[in-house]
A and B are shown apart, each in its own frame.
Chain A
């Protein structure tokens, strides 16, 4: 065959190859920002004065935080009788809030650890803020066991310690509540270490940008003398992978253990073997809801649309659709198992859940957690900022109510009717619920002002590597 003539079948094959080749890979960064531009864009929120939007949000968050401080002080002075708890419902908003906040944290670890192991490049724009969210959410969660103790100054009793002043009496290691103490302490510590280690190269970048004074000093201390040596990078990447490999089963274990707080009891509505995977899916679902809420606000107010693109938001919407569907499946399984068990109390509990005095909570939960994520089957919805924002808020509400339904509805009519009761939240229940959002948002707003909310070095690697 002479040069210049092309065999028709070969041409067709070539066209097929070309057709495959023209599908472009997803671009996770818009445009082609230079390395310096990436540094400048991400450092800008920390170096420039914040806008009015930040001050308004911060003001509201600090007011809510002050409300929390006031209410918790009053709680310590008076005791937990100021909450709406009674003999039937001994756990209510406190443990609901605890499980809710622990769940929120899960998205951060999923994004930073599991997606790292799966080499999902889209995590790079959102991992830092999601990890920060994890740490703040676990701090919020940790508050509730503490304030529910009645004697919070004795909180160290939950840890085994030396010298053991209780004589040889130790905590009961067979109890899921003790497992919880270890799981959440480990989770917080490992998340903090992962977050901080991941930030060291960026802290060094900020140190080298700081012109002097206290800012340079602080960044110098925090960046530990990092200088970008490739020998260090080489070890650093291994350490990140190892920590991700450790954090991956950890994140699955934490909410599994939280779920055993309930599942190992005999209470109808709690006593279910599906709880661990159900709680983990719910945790990731709620966490992604919160990440979405936070990122939609910050990308808009901090002008980071170039780095947190619609492609990122779409990827998150897909995770929400998956985990939301898993949660819906778990809801259905609970009902099926109650019917199939033939157990009177189990059956009554689920009839009561759907038709009893708290049925509105159940239907609100179904609306938010079963129906809302289904909108993400449509690509247009996954890429629409207003729909994503409304859905993320509904998910947050729905997941709080899910925990409320599991906890309060199960407790209020368990077994004998003589032990039944209703839970009505007092102003202190609601005030502390609002206040803890104040704590969370105060910490998050300070974080986006003080530390790089996007991992510069990872973005550089994705866009130029």
Chain B
């Protein structure tokens, strides 16, 4: 069974106070576990200090794999395995191979990116959702910080959230 930890969850009804909370929490040195929103809030990535995702590198790798595979496969079949004379065209009709090379670059690149995203974000069919508060996929925004053992630090995080307009701050237990 997964470890269970305690978290402090501040819920907001507007993105503005949420952003202000995140900025001030980080400024006060409070670690932020995650932030939840019904849509991607502009500026939140910078406020949380998130690094830009490296998933486009996977796209490049997967796309190149598709390209190489398509080129090698067409070359193998048309030149080595069974050369066919089609209208006197050369066996290695590289230009004619371009469309399929392009399509497989896009296909493998796209599927690779989507697959890598699902793996990295740990999303899979049947996964039970872990919502910090109800309505977070509808109209509620939430900041989640690890609940500190030290009571004073807990009070600080709670106070920052409330001062910045949190509707409610509560302590909850969840899988870490």
A residues near B (Cβ < 8 Å) are 34-36, 39, 160, 167-170, 172-176, 178-179, 182-183, 185-186, 189-190, 193-194, 197, 200-201, 204-205, 207-209, 220-239, 242-243, 246-247, 249-250, 253, 257, 457-458, 460-461, 464-465
> CA–CA, A174 to B93, complex, Å?
7
Q: Which residues of chain A are within 8 angstroms of B77 by Cβ–Cβ distance?
A: 160, 170, 173
Known: A186-B107, A230-B36. A253 touches B78 (CB 8 A): no
A-B contact count (CB 8 A): 200
Least Cβ–Cβ distance between A192 and chain B, in angstroms: 10
B residues near A (Cβ < 8 Å) are 15, 34-42, 44-45, 48, 50, 52-53, 55-56, 59, 63, 73-74, 77-78, 81-82, 84, 86, 89, 93, 96-97, 99-100, 102-104, 106-107, 109-111, 113-114, 117-118, 120-132, 134-139
- Docked-complex contact A35 and B40, CB < 8 angstroms: no
Q: Which residues of chain B are within 8 angstroms of A228 by Cβ–Cβ distance?
A: 36-38, 131, 136-137
Could you give 17 example pairs across A and B, Cβ below 8 Å? A36-B135, A36-B139, A39-B138, A179-B99, A220-B129, A230-B45, A232-B121, A233-B40, A238-B55, A239-B113, A239-B114, A242-B55, A246-B63, A247-B110, A253-B102, A457-B39, A460-B39
Least Cβ–Cβ distance between B108 and chain A, in angstroms: 9
Q: Which residues of chain A are within 8 angstroms of B135 by Cβ–Cβ distance?
A: 36, 208
- Nearest B residue to A205, CB-CB: B137
- Docked-complex contact B126 and A229, CB < 8 angstroms: no
Least Cβ–Cβ distance between A239 and chain B, in angstroms: 4
- Docked-complex contact A174 and B15, CB < 8 angstroms: no
> CA–CA, A226 to B138, complex, Å?
12
Q: Which residues of chain B are within 8 angstroms of A176 by Cβ–Cβ distance?
A: 99
Known: A174-B89, A458-B39. A190 touches B125 (CB 8 A): no
- Docked-complex contact A186 and B104, CB < 8 angstroms: yes
- CB within 8 A of B131: which of A175, A208, A237? A208
Q: Beyond the given A189-B107, A457-B39, please list 18 additional residue pairs across the A-B interface where CB-CB is below 8 A.
A: A169-B82, A173-B96, A174-B86, A174-B93, A189-B111, A205-B38, A224-B127, A230-B35, A230-B36, A230-B50, A233-B37, A233-B40, A233-B44, A238-B53, A246-B106, A253-B102, A465-B39, A465-B41
> CA–CA, A173 to B86, complex, Å?
10
- Nearest A residue to B127, CB-CB: A225
> CA–CA, A234 to B55, complex, Å?
11
> CA–CA, A174 to B97, complex, Å?
7
Q: Which residues of chain A are within 8 angstroms of B126 by Cβ–Cβ distance?
A: 220-221, 225
- Nearest B residue to A194, CB-CB: B110
> CA–CA, A170 to B73, complex, Å?
11
- Docked-complex contact B99 and A224, CB < 8 angstroms: no
Q: Which residues of chain A are within 8 angstroms of B138 by Cβ–Cβ distance?
A: 35-36, 39, 205, 208-209
- CB within 8 A of B110: which of A190, A207, A232? A190
Q: Which residues of chain B are within 8 angstroms of A237 by Cβ–Cβ distance?
A: 40
- Docked-complex contact A242 and B118, CB < 8 angstroms: no
- Docked-complex contact A224 and B136, CB < 8 angstroms: no
Least Cβ–Cβ distance between A391 and chain B, in angstroms: 33
Least Cβ–Cβ distance between A373 and chain B, in angstroms: 30
> CA–CA, A461 to B110, complex, Å?
25
Q: Which residues of chain A are within 8 angstroms of B89 by Cβ–Cβ distance?
A: 174
- Docked-complex contact A250 and B44, CB < 8 angstroms: no
Known: A172-B86, A173-B97, A230-B35. A235 touches B121 (CB 8 A): yes
> CA–CA, A119 to B97, complex, Å?
34
Least Cβ–Cβ distance between A226 and chain B, in angstroms: 6
- CB within 8 A of B117: which of A182, A236, A246? A236
> CA–CA, A237 to B78, complex, Å?
40
Known: A225-B127, A243-B113. A253 touches B139 (CB 8 A): no
- Nearest B residue to A462, CB-CB: B39
- Docked-complex contact A238 and B56, CB < 8 angstroms: yes
- Nearest B residue to A458, CB-CB: B39
- CB within 8 A of B99: which of A183, A189, A225? A183
- Docked-complex contact A225 and B38, CB < 8 angstroms: no
Q: Which residues of chain A are within 8 angstroms of B81 by Cβ–Cβ distance?
A: 168, 170
Known: A189-B111, A228-B38. A174 touches B78 (CB 8 A): yes
Q: Which residues of chain B are within 8 angstroms of A201 by Cβ–Cβ distance?
A: 38-39, 137
- Docked-complex contact B104 and A227, CB < 8 angstroms: no
- Nearest B residue to A184, CB-CB: B103
Q: Which residues of chain B are within 8 angstroms of A36 by Cβ–Cβ distance?
A: 135, 138-139
- Docked-complex contact A236 and B139, CB < 8 angstroms: no
The listed residue with most A CB atoms (<10 A of its CB), out of B50, B84, B102, B104, is: B102
- Nearest B residue to A225, CB-CB: B127
Q: Which residues of chain B are within 8 angstroms of A225 by Cβ–Cβ distance?
A: 122-124, 126-130
- CB within 8 A of A230: which of B48, B103, B137? B48
Least Cβ–Cβ distance between A221 and chain B, in angstroms: 5
- Docked-complex contact B139 and A35, CB < 8 angstroms: yes
Q: Which residues of chain A are within 8 angstroms of B107 by Cβ–Cβ distance?
A: 185-186, 189-190
- Docked-complex contact A249 and B37, CB < 8 angstroms: no
- Nearest A residue to B105, CB-CB: A246
Q: Which residues of chain B are within 8 angstroms of A234 by Cβ–Cβ distance?
A: 40, 45, 50, 53
Q: Which residues of chain A are within 8 angstroms of B39 by Cβ–Cβ distance?
A: 201, 233, 457-458, 460-461, 464-465
- Nearest B residue to A196, CB-CB: B114
Least Cβ–Cβ distance between A171 and chain B, in angstroms: 8
Known: A182-B99, A183-B99. A34 touches B139 (CB 8 A): yes
Q: Which residues of chain A are within 8 angstroms of B113 by Cβ–Cβ distance?
A: 239, 242-243, 246
- Docked-complex contact A227 and B37, CB < 8 angstroms: no
> CA–CA, A200 to B111, complex, Å?
16
Q: Which residues of chain A are within 8 angstroms of B96 by Cβ–Cβ distance?
A: 173-174
- Nearest A residue to B93, CB-CB: A174
Q: Which residues of chain B are within 8 angstroms of A208 by Cβ–Cβ distance?
A: 129, 131, 134-135, 137-138
